[in-house]
Amino acid sequence: MFNTTTNNTTIVRNYIILAATVMFASVGLTDTFLAPTRNGQQERLNNYGQVVSAGLVSYSQKLGR
């Protein structure tokens, strides 16, 4: 069975691992959603979507004729 020192060491180690995991995950999510490059990328994706939509409409009109 564990003695008190080993049990406390395990609890502290697990707490540190949990705290580090939560910290890195929260920083990663914050950078993902609040990064200025993400806004620029979303703008490019929206513009690309409009170009693709126009191309599909043009292609379908050609097929319909």
Q: Is the pTM of this model over 0.95?
A: no
Cα–Cα separations (whole angstroms), residue 54 to 47, 49, 51, 61 = 11, 9, 5, 11
Structure tokens at 44: 């490019």
pLDDT value of residue 3: 63
The CA R_g of the chain, rounded to the nearest whole Å, is: 26
Q: What is the pLDDT of residues 38-64, one digit of tens each?
A: 667 777 777 888 888 888 888 788 877
Mean of pLDDT over the chain: 79
Q: In degrees rounded to 5, what are phi and psi of residue 35?
A: -75, 135
pLDDT value of residue 15: 92
pLDDT value of residue 45: 76
How confident is residue 4, by pLDDT bands cut at 50, 70 and 90?
low
Alpha carbons 21 and 56: distance in angstroms, whole number: 45
